Amino acid sequence: MRATVDFAPLFRSSVGFDRMLNALDLASRIPAVDNWPPYDIVKTGEDDYRIDMAVAGLAEADLTITQERNTLVVTGRKAPEPQSAAEYLHRGIAGREFERRFDLAEHMKVTDAHFENGLLSITLKREIPEAMKPRRIAITSST
C-alpha cells in the first residue's frame, strides 16, 4: 500500500507550481507498470539528458519515437515473422510489444535518436527561450 501525500500546504504557499504539484499527485496514484524494456535516464550536462533503452529482439524499423507537448512516447512493435521450418525449443529473447511514456519538463526537446546493437539512445536537451531566461531589471529613481 502506498502512502498518500497531502500537497495542500504547498498549494497555499507557492505560485505557478500547480502543474508540477498536480503531476506529483498523479504519479503517486498511478499503479506500478510493467518494467520492460529496461532503461536508464542519464544527465549528461547542465541541460542535456539521454534515455538508453535495451530493446533486444527488435529492429530499428520496429521502433517509433514521438514527442507531443511534454510527453515522449517510445513504441516497439515487432513485425510478424514469416513461417519457417525452425522450431523453437526455448525463446528467451523477448521482442514483445511495448509502449513506454516519459513525462518531460517544459522546453525539453528530442535532439537525436540512435539505435545500435539492441540499445536505443534518445538524446534530449532543455532549450529555454530567450524571453524566459533571467534578466536584470534596471532600477530608476523618481527624481
The answer to whether residues 22 and 16 touch, using CB atoms and an 8 Å cutoff, is no
Confidence band, pLDDT 50/70/90 cuts, at residue 136 = confident
- How much is the pLDDT for 1? 47
Element (H, E) at 8: helix 8-13
Least confident piece of the model among 3-12, 65-74, 129-138: 3-12
Residue 122: count of CB within 10 angstroms of its CB: 22
Element (H, E) at 119: strand 119-126
Least confident piece of the model among 21-25, 44-48, 52-56, 82-86: 21-25
The answer to whether residues 101 and 75 touch, using CB atoms and an 8 Å cutoff, is no
The class level of CATH for 36-80+95-131 reads mainly beta
Q: Is pTM, for the whole model, over 0.85?
A: no
| Cα–Cα dist 97/43, whole Å | 27
Burial of residue 34 (number of CB atoms within 10 Å: 0-12, 13-18, 19+) = exposed
What's the whole-number mean pLDDT along residues 117-121?
93
Domain spans, the chain: 36-80+95-131
Residue 39 has pLDDT above 50, yes or no: yes
Residue of higher predicted confidence among 59 and 34:
59
pLDDT digits (tens, 9 = 90+) for 50-77: 999 999 888 899 999 999 888 899 999 9
